[in-house]
Chain A
Amino acid sequence: MGMQELIESLSPMEKKVIPFLSLSNFDEIVKKSQLDRVSALRALEFLNSKEVIDLKIEKKKVIDLGINGIYYRKKGLPERQLLIICEKEPISLGNAQKQARLSDNEFKAALGALKKKALVDIKNGRIIFTGDKSDIVKKSLEEQFIEILPIEFDALSPEQKFAFDKLKERKDIVIVNENQVVSFVLTKLGQGLIKEDLSSVGNLIEEITSDMVQKESWKGKKFRRYDIISKVPKITGGKRHFVNQSISYGRRVWSEMGFQEMTGSLIQESFWNFDSLFTAQDHPVRELQDTFFLGKERSLPERKIVESTKKAHEHGVDGSLGWQYKWNEKDAEKLVLRTHTTALSSRTLYELSKLPKEKRRGKFFAIGKCFRNETVDWSHGFEFNQTEGIVIDSEADFQHLLGYLKEFFTKMGFPKVRFRPAYFPYTEPSVEIDVYHPEKKRWLELGGAGIFRPEVTIPLLGEWVPVLAWGPGFDRVLMDYYEIKDLRELYKNDIKQLRNTKIWIK
């Protein structure tokens, strides 16, 4: 920047301090420029960023007088006041305190201090002066110390340090302030600048006003150049919750892949959540300690599907052996908070069964909240998000299942996907999906998928058609994106964090 441009960029505040820069003393500048300390310092900071001066701001500990200290400097420390009274003749403790006009604490401290210096002794409840008369006139280290305050902490001599340590144990005699010590030197550029005539550029336009624009009064004048580098105060704005941002994206990906969204209740009958998915009634997942039961029931859908589900459980369908136990209708009526979005898939299949055969096909997805009765820690919670998908297609096969999952996770940012054998009561074959994390260099387990068993599909859909199905967890993907390590942070609603997290861009 040339000298001319530099002059054009000076704000009025800066111009006020420039004539006094040669004094090289901040306090003088404050006094002479008639700016308050904060404005003067800002002006110096601006000049520093323009390389006019080399500014140093140091924090220094300065010891100063406290409220009691100010008083004692005038009247003398309590031990001095006490000494004056008792040096003449022995005096009772009560009288001494009264005459010296000291509070209990002060009196105690004063007596202690004098005793320590062997100036007094107490006999039969009376204070007796035992020191040398010449000691009386000598000022103690503490007395000397309060007279020289304020002083920088770093500049204390060993005697002063000793006095300070004694005094700081007593109430409000000394305090320690953190002071800013401002110092600077002019740079070469600065030395040139202070010789310049600042008025040579004339009156510069500061803020552009509506009046100026309308009256064109800016014509023939120069605009002051702004410091375009320096920081401005931060602002924040409205933003979607980060979990919802990622769910919106997931929705878009599935719909782009030709899937229709399924939505539905968070409360489900055990029938849709478990029984229709061939989960035996004594399966551990159906215990209170795994699933949230609500203590209410809802009646089951029409008999046909209830009967065919019962049959699938008791004796099997399509040549299956079934689970071979007595299926209890009452257990199926119990309401639960859904443990997986697969409850939506079973309902969707049932709805399709009401359509003509050729229309019983399609691709459906869901992303939604599910619940399990869990304690809460960094990797467990009682609410979590799952993404669900089903493909009903007479030509669908196992390789397609892997294909859809690979495509979805590639779009979610994990192109490297691995499939492993797994077990779920309602799918066969079953698959566990792992995605490779390129930075962590390891596989992340995301959840399950498979082809619905005939014991699921036949009662629900009324016929055997391969139904590809998956329900991996969603939270792990979004936590990875937002670099969140603790599940509890998802719904903590820390406003500062919500304002500062980056948005989902994919």
Chain B
Amino acid sequence: MTILTISKKQFEKDIGKIDDSMQDKIAMFGTPVEYINNEEIAIEIFPNRPDLLAYQNYKFSFLSFLGKNTGLKKLSVNKPERNYQVIVDKSVNDVRPYTVCAVVKNLKFDDEKIKEIIDIQEKLHLTLGRKRKKAAIGIYPMEKIKLPINYGAKNPKDIKFIPLDETREMDGTQILQRHPTGREYAYLLEGSDKFPFFSDANNEVMSMPPIINSNKTGKISSDTKEIFIECSGFDINILNKILNILCFALAEMGGKIYQTNLKYSTKTLVSPDFEPLKMRLSLKNTNKLLGLKLKENEVKKLLEKMGYSYSNGKVLVPPYRSDVLHEVDLIEDIAIAYGYDNFIPAIPEISTTGKINSGEIFKEKISEILLGLGLLETSSYHLTTKEFQLIKMNKKQEVIEVKDSKTEYSILRNDLSHYLLKIFYENPDVEYPQDIFQLGKVFVINGDDIKEEERLAIGLAPGNFTRLKQIIDYLGNNIGKEFSFGVPNDFPEQFVEGRVAEVKLNGKPLGYFGEVHPKILKNFKIKMPVALLEINLEELFNTIQNNS
């Protein structure tokens, strides 16, 4: 979840008083209020609107939604001045192939504004930049660098500079090993024999993206009036969007935007590019999808509230929007401008027949029979621990592990029995008899694949062979099936030998039941004798399905 926090004072000065109605409006704009206190208001920004992560952009977009200065926001951009040039060496092709850049002048920074810029940069790194993997941003004071700029890649040992918050010069490899930021993002460059870098016309290294800037050239201060911005990464579309988001925010702060020439080995590009995307919109599709009867001029007004412009079936999309892929994205924004609270929920008259899955009905019936005998249903996690599934059960077998589990529940359960014993283990002081059962899926290794199986397990404490067999008989009678029993071929050593039976239906084995061996009970610290059953329900269900 990404949060934009705004000083309450600032918000009320720029936009309006934060009362209940304002909070509703904020939520209905698609940016729910996370919290409000005396100092600040925190607003959740969904991943499709990274442009709103900059307060400056949020302000003009939300005001437009409220009806102030609606329509496409035009931002004038100045042609590149002499030297506003970035030379992209083809050595970056394999490491970090693209960069787009801009120069912004006429800025007035104070500590607040600098904080705001760093904050936007970090949030864009996290979201659109996918933690700097896809895109990373560098901002440099113009007074500290000399244009034109070079973007290239070389052996990390040869990239030498003093990184931010350091006093000594380090090379690329040392930065990844020793600098805190270097260590955090080292995985993004590990394995490359060349690291990317920016350097200026004096051959001073400005930064090593996506890791860190130079302490000398990569720090803006309250004296900074002009900046150079670069954005490097793998997806030039995303890079352009990020640059545009930053430029729009800086322009709101009073900045004047200048383009730069990007000299790639095969072509020359110019960035930033504020040309809006043109997209077709059908009035018919809009009304059909939303269930409304909007007229063209109404649609135009709604689109303008969301920062678009519209004429003759064509929509101009603001250049900072990265989420508008299809007409439906425009239609959603029309719905937001119309107000989700203004739609009238309706259920159409289409006749369909409802149906509950027959396997689920079967499980309900099985449990009804057992409830009639006074058994209590329990329910456990599908993930379990090796401690309970293997060690306490005296089992040694292959397990199905989930990757990087954040808890000790790190394997998929392959039986329900160990969970029933765990329940007895956790309820030593609750009144006996504890007669319990559980229905659910277990996961069984099946060659290279995993099979899911519906099971039934019953546990009686205190319990014995006879009482459990009576229950199985009763269950069989009630579903019109006669189980047969046999001595298991493979004696399951969790049971007492001679007191465990294999349950079969039409000759097919379904599972086991019997008296649990005291050595297992001891592992679980259970003081009562326990009888346990676990059978596969799918076989049973299939034979019943086939009969009916």
A-side interface residues toward B, CB under 8 Å?
A: 236-241, 243-244, 248, 251-252, 254-263, 265-267, 282, 284, 288-289, 292-296, 298, 316, 318-325, 335, 337, 362-363, 369, 371, 373-376, 382-383, 393, 395-400, 402-407, 417-423, 428-432, 451, 453-455, 466, 490-496, 498-499
How far apart are B133's CB and chain A's nearest CB, in angstroms?
8
Residues of B388-410 whose CB lies within 8 A of A: 400-407, 409
Which residues from B are CB-within-8-Å of A376? 407
Rounded to whole angstroms, the CA-CA distance of A403 and B350 in the bound complex is 13
Cα–Cα distance between A319 and B327 once the two chains are bound (Å): 8
Q: CA separation between A266 and B448, bound complex, in Å?
A: 17
Q: Is there an interface contact between B427 and A421, defined as CB atoms closer than 8 Å?
A: no
A240 / chain B contacts, CB cutoff of 8 Å: 367, 371, 377
CA distance A422 to B290 in the complex (A): 16
Q: In this assembly, does B544 line the interface, its C-beta being within 8 Å of a C-beta of chain A?
A: no
Complex contacts, B291 vs chain A, CB 8 Å? 397-400
**What are 20 residue pairs bridging A and B, where the CB atoms are less than 8 Å apart in the complex?**
A238-B370, A238-B374, A238-B377, A255-B355, A255-B356, A257-B354, A258-B352, A261-B357, A263-B359, A292-B383, A294-B412, A319-B326, A337-B382, A375-B406, A395-B348, A421-B29, A422-B46, A423-B30, A423-B49, A428-B326
With A399-B346, A402-B345, A421-B336 known to touch, is A382 a contact of B431 (CB < 8 Å)? Answer: no
CA distance A209 to B397 in the complex (A): 58
Q: Which residue of A lies closest to B406 (CB)?
A: A375
- Is there contact, CB below 8 Å, between A398 and B360? no
- Residue of A at shortest CB range from B427? A495
B450 touching A238 by the CB < 8 A rule?
no
Residues of A contacting B341 in the complex (Cβ-Cβ under 8 angstroms): 418-419
Take A254-B354, A296-B448, A430-B332 as given contacts and tell me if A493 and B423 are in contact as well, using a CB distance cutoff of 8 Å: yes
CB distance from B149 to the nearest CB of A (A): 27
Asked if A375 meets B354 with Cβ closer than 8 Å, knowing A325-B235, A396-B348, the reply is no
Q: Using a CB-CB cutoff of 8 Å, which residues 104-163 of chain B contact chain A?
A: 130, 133-134
Contacts A260-B355, A421-B28 known; A321 to B343 CB distance under 8 Å? no
Interface residues of B in 160-175 (CB under 8 A from A): none
Nearest A-chain residue to B27, judged by Cβ: A420
Q: How far is the CA of A493 from the CA of B422 in the complex (A)?
A: 9
Closest B residue to A380 using CB positions: B406
B376 and A495 contact, CB distance less than 8 A: yes
> Do A335 and B371 touch (CB < 8 A)?
no
Residue interface bits B416-434, CB-to-A below 8 A is 1, else 0: 0000000100110011001
Asked whether, in the complex, the Cβ of A238 is within 8 Å of the Cβ of B376, the reply is: yes
Find out whether the CB atom of B345 lies under 8 angstroms from the CB atom of A399: yes
Q: How many angstroms from the CA of A288 to the CA of B402 in the assembled complex? A: 10
Asked if B443 is an interface residue, CB under 8 A from chain A, the answer is yes
Asked if A382 and B28 make an inter-chain contact with CB atoms under 8 angstroms apart, the answer reads no
Query: Is there a chain A Cβ closer than 8 Å to B523's Cβ?
Result: no
Chain A nearest CB from B24 CB (Å) reads: 9
Are B378 and A498 in contact, with the CB atoms below 8 A? Answer: yes
Sort A-B residue pairs by CB-CB distance and give the 8 closest, nearest first.
Answer: A421-B30, A255-B354, A397-B291, A423-B46, A238-B371, A429-B332, A402-B345, A320-B326
Which one, A238, A321, A337, A374, contacts B375 given CB within 8 A?
Answer: A238
B residues in contact with A455, CB < 8 Å: 325-326
B residues in contact (CB < 8 Å) with A: 27-30, 32, 46-49, 130, 133-134, 235, 237, 280, 288-291, 325-329, 331-332, 335-336, 340-341, 343-348, 350-357, 359-360, 364, 367, 370-383, 400-407, 409, 412, 423, 426-427, 430-431, 434-436, 441, 443, 448-450, 452
Nearest CB of chain B from residue A425's CB, rounded to whole Å: 8
On whether the beta carbons of A265 and B351 are closer than 8 Å, the reply is: no
| Cβ-closest chain B residue relative to A400 | B348
- Which chain A residue lies CB-closest to B402? A292
Contact A266 B379 (CB under 8 A): no
Residue from A239, A248, A256 within 8 A of B354 (CB atoms): A256
Taking CB atoms, residues of chain B closer than 8 Å to A257 are: 354
Beyond A258-B352, A267-B450, 10 additional contacts (C-beta under 8 Å) are A244-B379, A251-B360, A256-B354, A260-B353, A261-B357, A382-B406, A397-B288, A400-B291, A420-B28, A423-B48
**Residues of chain B contacted by A263 (CB below 8 angstroms):** 357, 359-360
Task: Decide if B403 touches A293 in the complex (CB within 8 Å).
Answer: yes
Chain B's closest residue to A429 (CB) is B332
Least Cβ–Cβ distance between A147 and chain B, in angstroms: 42
Q: Is the CB of A383 within 8 A of B383?
A: yes
Q: A407-B347, A423-B48 are in contact. Are A319 and B376 (CB under 8 A)?
A: no
Cβ contact within 8 Å between B426 and A493: yes
CB nearest to A254 among chain B residues: B354
For B409, the chain A residues whose CB sits under 8 A away are 382
Q: Is the CB of B352 within 8 A of A495?
A: no
